[in-house]
């Protein structure tokens, strides 16, 4: 009898091992009814960069997706018109189940880990706030939750995904930095820094040691950023204020290298545009723009965009303000 129990236990363990998601990936599957068409989009920023992928429902209206992220990452499901269907947080080892009606996104359920179920509960309890055209009540509820729950990753998620008013940057900074550093991982907060702009976080500042970019002659170069202070200028045509920006960048102090990066796919006017730039400046091309894997960490969502990186690879500023970038670089140069 004991032998039979032993073999049954081994069989059960084998079944669990074969049916569970591997530790180096996460899985999202389920069904969405009343979808306009048979496809929708999944968007996330994981270990391999930004994923922007179309998924098709099978004949039974079901779907399955496998992603990779060693740290918690925000995953968004959108219909073919870009309308949000569901949002969730996933990390390697998770197996999330999604179900619901595309016409009722507030009712779409996500199960599979405690964080997403707590998020769903918060939304259910504040349903009237989520459907209110004025976001003030929802923002107030989120602020209250964040202040009362500094050790809960849901506080980070609510500020990232559901909070609206970022006009008072000091208040938002206080809310973000009031959250325990252990529950606001870079994989989530870099999205806040990028999407909300100029929001600076303490404790978790990214490091960018090197970038792989295309050179003017069409080759590839691994540009080391740990030899001196670097000021990255990301832009795209047409840039009406480029002349004014370049004039300001000419005043950068000694010991700071300016790295000029065309962050778009079109290079037709690249040579003409940079012809008046100072000699000695380094010019590179990032064909995928904000999706370029090596510069995603900067979280830029508009151009021009500036990033200051010290000689250890620490990103000390990343944002749209050239004056802030210059003052930051100047302060670094005085250290």
Tokens of 287: 């064909």
Percent of the chain at pLDDT above 70?
80
Q: What is the DSSP string of 265-276?
A: S--TTHHHHHTT
3 state SS of 49: strand
* pLDDT per residue as tens digits for the range 136-188: 899 999 999 999 999 999 999 998 888 877 667 678 778 988 999 889 887 77
When pLDDT is cut at 50, 70 and 90, the band that residue 303 belongs to is confident
Would you say residue 23 has pLDDT above 50? yes
pLDDT of residue 7: 45
CATH superfamily, region 20-104: Carboxypeptidase-like, regulatory domain (2.60.40.1120)
CB atoms within 10 A of CB 126: 17
Q: How does pLDDT run across 68-105, given as a tens digit for each residue?
A: 888 898 888 888 766 788 999 999 999 999 999 998 88
Q: How many angstroms separate the CA atoms of 147 and 175, rounded?
A: 7
210-334 matches 20-104 in CATH topology: no
d(CA 261, CA 223): 12
pLDDT at 115 over 60: yes
- 146/203: higher pLDDT: 146
CATH classification for the domain delimited by 210-334, as one of 3.40.50.300, 3.40.30.10, 3.30.420.40, 2.60.120.200: 3.40.30.10
Q: Pick the most confident of 49-63, 147-161, 264-278.
A: 147-161
Tell which wins on pLDDT, 10 or 136: 136
Instruction: Name which residue leads in pLDDT, 214 or 288.
Output: 214
Q: Report pLDDT for 169.
A: 66
* pLDDT at residue 22, rounded to an integer: 54
Mean pLDDT value of segment 122-136? 89
Give the DSSP letter of residue 21.
Answer: P
Domain regions of the chain by residue span = 20-104, 128-196, 210-334
Other CB atoms within 10 A of residue 136 CB: 11
| Residues 108, 98 contacting (CB under 8 angstroms) | yes
Lowest mean pLDDT among 15-19, 146-150, 213-217: 15-19
Judge whether 267 and 237 are in contact, CB under 8 Å: no
Using CA atoms, how far residue 272 sits from 65, 129, 237, in Å, is 44, 51, 11
pLDDT beyond 70 at 119: yes
Of the given ranges (117-121, 157-161, 235-239), which has the lowest mean pLDDT?
A: 235-239
Lowest mean pLDDT among 88-102, 122-136, 184-198, 246-260: 184-198
Q: Does the pTM of the predicted model rise above 0.85?
A: no
For tokens 């000689």, name the residue. Answer: 311
Q: Give 304-326 pLDDT, tens digit per residue.
A: 889 999 888 888 888 888 998 99
Integer Cα distance of 27 and 64 in angstroms: 7
Q: What's the average model confidence in pLDDT over 260-264?
A: 89
Concatenating the DSSP letter of every residue in 226-266 gives: SSSEEEEEEE-S--TTHHHHHHHHTTPPTTEEEEEEE-SS-
Mean predicted lDDT score pLDDT of the chain: 81
Mean pLDDT of 5-32: 61
Identify the CA nearest to 76 among candidates 34, 47, 105: 105
Residue 116 vs residues 34, 181, 221, 258: alpha-carbon distances, Å: 23, 20, 41, 43
Handedness of CA 169, 175, 165, 264 (dihedral sign): positive
pLDDT on residue 229: 93
């Amino acid at each position: 009898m004991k032998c039979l129990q032993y073999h049954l236990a081994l069989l059960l363990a084998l079944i669990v091992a074969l049916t569970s998601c591997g530790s180096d990936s996460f899985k999202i599957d389920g069904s969405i009814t009343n979808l306009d068409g048979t496809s929708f989009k999944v968007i996330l920023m994981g270990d391999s960069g930004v994923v922007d992928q179309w998924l098709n429902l099978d004949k039974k209206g079901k779907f399955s997706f496998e992603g990779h992220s060693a740290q918690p990452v925000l995953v968004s499901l959108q219909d073919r018109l870009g309308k949000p269907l569901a949002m969730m947080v996933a990390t390697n080892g998770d197996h999330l189940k999604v179900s619901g009606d595309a016409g009722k996104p507030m009712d779409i359920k996500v199960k599979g880990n405690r964080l997403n179920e707590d998020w769903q509960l918060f939304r259910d309890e504040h349903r009237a706030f989520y459907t209110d055209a004025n976001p003030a009540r929802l923002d107030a509820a989120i602020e209250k939750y964040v202040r009362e729950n500094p050790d809960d990753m849901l506080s980070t998620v609510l500020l990232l995904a559901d909070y609206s008013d970022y006009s008072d940057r000091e208040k938002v900074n206080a809310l973000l930095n009031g959250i325990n550093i252990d529950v606001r991982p870079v994989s989530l907060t870099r999205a806040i820094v990028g999407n909300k702009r100029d929001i600076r976080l303490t404790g978790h500042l990214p490091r960018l040691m090197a970038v792989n970019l295309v050179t003017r002659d069409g080759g590839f170069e691994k540009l080391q950023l740990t030899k001196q202070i670097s000021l990255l200028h990301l832009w795209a045509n047409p840039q009406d204020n480029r002349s004014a920006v370049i004039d300001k960048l000419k005043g950068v102090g000694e010991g700071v290298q300016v790295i000029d990066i065309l962050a778009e796919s079109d290079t037709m006017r690249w040579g003409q545009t940079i012809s008046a730039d100072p000699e000695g400046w380094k010019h590179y091309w990032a064909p995928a723009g904000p999706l370029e894997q090596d510069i995603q960490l900067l979280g830029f969502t508009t151009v021009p965009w500036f990033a200051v990186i010290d000689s250890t690879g620490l990103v000390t500023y990343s944002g749209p303000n050239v004056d802030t970038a210059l003052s930051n670089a100047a302060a670094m140069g005085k250290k």
